[in-house]
Structure 1
């Protein structure tokens, strides 16, 4: 089975071709990603209108490059998969419309993929992971802990009730006049800082459940930064180190509670897995803390390669393969959905507004 995957939910224009082998393994034939970081750097974050226009300009070339690298034609495909949500509506429309056009012209099935499902199933592509397992998804738009029990069978154990973790990193970097994207910039500055100098809070630490909250931490950091102004390079390093340490403690605590619940619900699972996904999962301090927590609780940490943790077309193609294998395909009227919780049964997160959960 060979599927073309198209991903345009945020600021990466991506296309990939993935083949499922007869033994069930996945082979990535091509995976082309064009980042828009340069276009958005001056604004300190993603500008939806700029992102959508950039997708329009680049996507045809990206798809052509992915098909050429894979050495396949549209007639060789078994299906076309496109991200239908959640994400920025302009970008979603560009990518999903392109996927529909290719599927229609080539006479192939369309699979409208939930972006979060792409992340949730990536470890099955890279590591052949069996169900069930835990997934921690932390990126600029999402902070969730999910129980992945099967294709289309997901339970959200925790989510953010305000900012996503990547968003908090970006806003912290902007506050401290660091470069965009904020995650790598804060991590670099934190390397030379003293994490104990500023007394920053650990929101939700020790609280029941697995939800996250980062807005209070962000506000506390701003108050400390204003009190210490004008900031020296050492001040910035110490603030970043304190922020990163607080985030690591919170994530470790929240995920630890999820692992305890998973172990109680699935006592027969031998060496259960905790899967990391999303750009923030590349942060070394967070990854080290989670590795320690996983080892303590008898879990193994599974982290796909960095280029497959961030947004990419291969995860969308693989999710298309997984869904198509279950007989799941979509009509050409499948809508783009800016909000689309992976676990449709979960209650909306606090403060998420009339459109429901932030995801």
Structure 2
């Protein structure tokens, strides 16, 4: 098999709905994590699927000349190491899926929060791999964006305009059945490579339902209650962190609580490396009630993307870069900050429809 097996696997992974950008560092990451035989097995797993949609072992096996018992052991081992997503299906047979970009890769390397020589090596590779050019390739090529920001609770005013349940973190969390807590891969990576940029909590990345079940089963994440999740949301808002979720109205799998220091999305926008709308779905922009505003400047200090400045006695927002996260409303002493909807556009109905739409836009479905 030799080196060509990793090149083939890299191409295979690039054809996922959330495909891996091609770069030399990707080959290094694959060499570090897959034996040639494991790479061969991964090549037999379908790519034209939505994230976390498993293929049965009985569907994978015909593409390989490996005894079924041995194949099951290889797949199980890859899943245990976080390299594949796994789920027991209705007929009790195991199903496996490739980790998609932003949906397990490269996050599973860091969700557990381990600090080992191997984790440090992978962190260095991942940082070099996840440059702005690769992020733009992964997230910028479709009109439909994989992720959106959910406004901080104090920024929404249901009395002045309609607020949908999917625009409130409490309502999203009410609907889930299983929750797992993991480490923030962005901050964990920064710590591992010795470039700690902030003191924000590491353990505040929240996963839901089948993704949560997988992470708990593999001892990558720990189960938490809905109230514990809501407490994390509140503390994150108070710390100036941004809620990022899947760009869907229902069935979300993630809530990342992001900082402008380390986050691949918020940090990239803060540094103005990629235009906001190329990278993320932004449904709100900040407005200021000047009659209520006292000009205290608290919103300037907390803005995670650094787009608010004082002009005279009032804050001014650069709306080309505002992400509509509502974090600036949290410290406002007079409730002068509110978010206004950008348009009537709504996120796709659910997680499945979101990723089917992305597959269609990539012309892979």
Q: Shorter-chain TM-score: which interval?
A: under 0.3
**What TM-score does the superposition give when structure 1 sets the normalisation length?**
0.25
- Specify which structure has the higher proportion of helix: 1
| Greater relative contact order (Cα < 8 A, sep 6+) | 1
Q: TM-score, normalised by structure 2?
A: 0.25
